[in-house]
Amino acid sequence: MTKTSFYGKFICFVVFLSLLIGFTACEGEQEKVDVAENGKAELTQETKAQRDERMAWWRDARFGMFIHWGLYAIPAGEWEGETKHAEWILTTAQIPVKEYEKFAPQFNPIKFDPAAWVSMAKDAGMKYIVITSKHHDGFSLFDSELTDYDVMDATPFKRDIMKELAEECRKQDIKMCWYHSIMDWHHPDYLPRRKWEDRSSEGADLDRYVEHMKGQVKELVTNYGKIGVLWFDGEWENTWTADYGEDVYKFVRSLQPDIIINNRVSVGREGMAGTFDPATSAGDFGTPEQEIPATGLGYDWETCMTMNDHWGYNKNDDNWKSTQDLIQKLVDIASKGGNFLLNVGPTAEGLFPQPSIDRLEAIGKWMKLNSESIYGTTASLFKSLAWGRCTVKPGKLYLHVFDWPADGKLHVPGLQSQAESVYLLSDPDAQLATDYTEEEAVISLPGTQPDPIDTVVVLEFTSEPEVVN
């Protein structure tokens, strides 16, 4: 090799190297921008693309089952003649811990059938189950090495309920998720105390409690395979801090990097509306409780709701929402880009209450025909639709008709694009005649509404449809 060609090559190599370094630096910049747009970057430790990937199954699912089960199923909402209690009974009836503990040796839900539970969720069209591994009463429904106040040591049942459910969920392809309460009315180190409590606070040390709780959470995310969501709750007491929240968030993600964690891990939640600022507070999604936001939130969210008026089993609560109401709520939520976590409170024997079973079956029937208009959809393009809701998939609009127009004309305000195909989801072969003006599209529907709860009309487009509101 001549000297000149050696220098030539050397210079080329140096130029190439600096370009490479420059390029990777730019990539780094790009990454930073992504991460900064993506909530608390130092917490999530991921780009927007990585986050989208982590959240994908959950966004796709749209519908899950909440299960509130524990010792409180035994009193079934009743204490000294008062019948309005449920999972809060220890506090709402002011039961001393020693007294409440007596439920544990009575907990023997011999009719618990994990296969049946998971099938009921699955047949209803639900894609994940979030169950109380420990509620505020501090009792663990799983085999915990860190306490004797659990199903294995304190009850005659001695079956790891979480293990059986997790295995069954895996079999039936449903995501297993845990609800785990931060607030703990049993653990001696938890603070604060309620005024009426007999539990002494002497020597109590919240830091030590947090270590205990992290230990339990570690059991929950290492002993039961892959977990979809960790759903924290009870973060509102004044002892819990953003630092604790961030620490727990990081800890859980370090054990299962793909897991999804709700915003109640930290202190940023704004009451029952469940909203928060994902850019400043830990958590992957908002948690509206017993309510549906008026519009989408601009970030991931999930409304949790009871079928009657209690989370835990209350034998006297007959105020059940109708199937129509529940299906329309699911659709309403999907049309705003959220998820619906619908609760069941099983009995002390281990059974779902019959009214819950009936509703799950009826929702399942509707989902069998219509789930395409729920799973994997995104929020409506319309500001409001007088007769119902809209969900969206690439190139498709699903119009959910709750109120069938008397004259058979469905007015779709502001639709600017012409669909290449318009049909009922329940009858894809029959095209529906559609007229377009500048202001709206008008679809001619059949005379009677095939499904009085919600009939879905599908519009297919060759490119993304445009709507002016």
Q: Is 87 in the site for ligand GLC (CB under 6 A)?
A: yes
Choice between 87 and 317, CB closer to ligand GLC = 87
Choice between 289 and 300, CB closer to ligand GLC = 289
Q: Is 317 in the site for ligand GLC (CB under 6 A)?
A: no
Q: Is 313 in the site for ligand GLC (CB under 6 A)?
A: no
Q: Is 160 in the site for ligand GLC (CB under 6 A)?
A: no
Q: Which of 74, 217, 67 is nearest to 129 (CA)?
A: 67
Specify the DSSP class assigned to residue 432: P
Q: Is 304 in the site for ligand GLC (CB under 6 A)?
A: yes
Choice between 35 and 341, CB closer to ligand GLC = 341
Q: Is 219 in the site for ligand GLC (CB under 6 A)?
A: no
Q: Which residue has the tokens 């296969």?
A: 115
- The one among 101, 168, 219, 233 contacting ligand GLC by CB under 6 A: 233
Choice between 87 and 454, CB closer to ligand GLC = 87
192 upstream amide cis, omega within 30 of 0: yes
Contact 461, 395 (CB under 8 A): yes
List, in sequence order, every residue forming a beta bridge with 129; answer none if it has no partner: 65, 176
Give the x/- contact pattern for ligand GLC in 45-74, rule: CB under 6 A.
-----------------------x------
Minimum CB–partner distance for residue 241 and ligand GLC (Å)? 18
What is the spatial distance between Cα 174 and Cα 49, in angstroms, rounded to a whole number?
24
Residues 6+ apart with CB under 8 A from 180: 132, 133, 134, 213, 216, 217, 220, 230, 231, 232, 233
Residue 64 has which token pair?
Answer: 């899950």
Q: Is 344 in the site for ligand GLC (CB under 6 A)?
A: no
Contact 374, 391 (CB under 8 A): yes
Minimum CB–partner distance for residue 128 and ligand GLC (Å)? 15
Q: Which of 317, 289, 271, 353 is nearest to 85 (CA)?
A: 317
What is the spatial distance between Cα 32 and Cα 365, in angstroms, rounded to a whole number?
46
Choice between 40 and 136, CB closer to ligand GLC = 136
Minimum CB–partner distance for residue 290 and ligand GLC (Å)? 8
Give the x/- contact pattern for ligand GLC in 251-290, rule: CB under 6 A.
--------------------------------------x-
What is the spatial distance between Cα 271 and Cα 280, in angstroms, rounded to a whole number?
17
Minimum CB–partner distance for residue 233 and ligand GLC (Å)? 5
Phi, psi of 393 (to 5 degrees): -130, 165
Contact 105, 152 (CB under 8 A): no
- The one among 69, 190, 232, 311 contacting ligand GLC by CB under 6 A: 311
Choice between 156 and 271, CB closer to ligand GLC = 271
Minimum CB–partner distance for residue 324 and ligand GLC (Å)? 23
Choice between 149 and 232, CB closer to ligand GLC = 232
Residue 388 has which token pair?
Answer: 């119902």
Q: Is 143 in the site for ligand GLC (CB under 6 A)?
A: no
Residues 6+ apart with CB under 8 A from 234: 136, 181, 182, 183, 184, 264
- With CB under 6 A as the rule, give the number of residues binding ligand GLC: 7
Positions touching ligand GLC (CB under 6 A) are 68, 87-88, 233, 289, 304, 311
